A = this chain, B = another copy of it.
Amino acid sequence: MRQSQLFGKTLREDPKDEISANARLLERGGFVAKEMAGIYSFLPLGLRVLGKVANIIRDELNEKLGAREILMPALHPIENYVKTGRDKIDILFHTELASGGHLVLGQSHEEIVVPLAKRFISSYHDLPLGLYQIQTKFRNEPRAKSGLLRGREFIMKDLYSFHATEDDLEKYYEKAKDAYKNIFARLGIGDITFLTFASGGTFSRYSHEFQTITDAGEDTIYFCENCLIAVNDEIIGEQPYCAKCKAPSEKLLKKRAIEVGNIFPLKTRYADAFDLTYTDETGVLKPVIMGCYGIGLSRVMGAIVEVHHDEKGILWPETVAPFNVHLVEIPGKNKADIVKKTAEKFYEELLAKNIEVLYDDRADKTPGEKFADADLIGIPLRVVVSEKTLEKKGVEVKKRGEKEARIVSEKEMLKMLEK
């Protein structure tokens, strides 16, 4: 895409009142625009990142868990929440139908997915079943803050699994853990994201979170360096040791972290509320056993920025970068026409090879502004075409993390992009 045609200008200054790196850099880079606290618009660059995050998640859930994607509504009847006892939880947004009827906005979808699954599950033949969606969630947070980390309206993947036995849930649960590990690895935060034992709320002793270690996190975890797992601060009183090697909490590292995913064994809590049962091999009616598995896509996008940035801007992992390469044209004074023509030629060639390229063809920007924008936007590879590169019969390449640029041949540049 031509940068002259991109919607969403970069900003030189940090937005007012924002401290967190993701809020500052995503807005300055033209990825998002804040509408209200915790409510954002996604601009073209941000939407591209979000799409890549979504496709990595889809890929793992489809392939590794055989889960099936659906799309459920945001408007939920309050009656379903009365059944599960969640009608009084304070993060619900409430609204009313013109024709009469009290609705809430979905902050999670147990109250919809269980009655939905009930229409299609009757026998053990129908189990196990995994249903997920990537959809907008609404949470009436009293204090939305930290950019995309704690939103009032945000994009989430929620997966629900249905099983005949606890054993089967457990097997699926372990496979889901593996799928989650793959997802966070592919998102570029695998090496600092760890399975964390957390509270199970009212219906299960424990649940599991995936926590990404960063000082920007709102959560505190106790991390075991040997086992690469952690315990959430909220249960360290009950469980003052590593769940695996049993090392005491004093030996664990106290760290700030962002919860990027969570998985819950729901057991029969929601099945009971909606009388979701199946007939087993012997004809006996039994309650369906469930698990649920969430990942906040917009939150993950924020977490990636918290982890991968420097003072100049974002350093996107290749897998989620809005483009593979940032082609920057620096026309100069003497050979502007030839530089322009050469850059245009590269642009067409890269597109022809299906390489996603952002082409800085802007005529009204100085080289300094273009380089600052490239660092801010954070595409993994910057390729400059200028008088100098023409003379040296090559292009100037610099990976976003590197300090120094170097001249390479066109062929070598293409090789860097092919993998």
> A residues engaging B (CB < 8 A)?
5-9, 33, 35-36, 39-44, 47, 50, 66, 68-75, 77, 90-91, 93-99, 101, 103, 105, 112, 116, 119-120, 125, 129, 131, 136, 138, 140-143, 152-153, 364
Copy number in the complex reads: 2
For residue A93, which residue of chain B has the nearest CB? B95
* One of B39, B98, B120 near A7 (C-beta < 8 A): B120
> Is A95 a contact partner of B98 (Cβ separation < 8 A)?
no
> Is B140 a contact partner of A36 (Cβ separation < 8 A)?
no
> Is A72 a contact partner of B41 (Cβ separation < 8 A)?
yes
CA distance A97 to B45 in the complex (A): 29
> Is A42 a contact partner of B71 (Cβ separation < 8 A)?
yes
Interface centre among A69, A119, A364 (most CB of B within 10 A): A69
Whether A36 touches B75, Cβ cut-off 8 Å, given contacts A95-B93, A95-B95, A141-B98, is yes
Given A93-B103, A95-B95, A136-B136, 11 more A-B residue pairs with CB atoms under 8 Å apart are A6-B68, A35-B73, A36-B75, A36-B101, A41-B73, A42-B70, A43-B70, A73-B153, A74-B136, A75-B93, A97-B152
B-chain residues with CB within 8 Å of residue A43 when the two chains form the complex: 70
B-chain residues with CB within 8 Å of residue A69 when the two chains form the complex: 44, 47
* One of B41, B93, B112, B141 near A41 (C-beta < 8 A): B112
B-chain residues with CB within 8 Å of residue A36 when the two chains form the complex: 75, 77, 101
> Is B75 a contact partner of A138 (Cβ separation < 8 A)?
yes
CA distance A101 to B152 in the complex (A): 13
CA distance A25 to B50 in the complex (A): 34
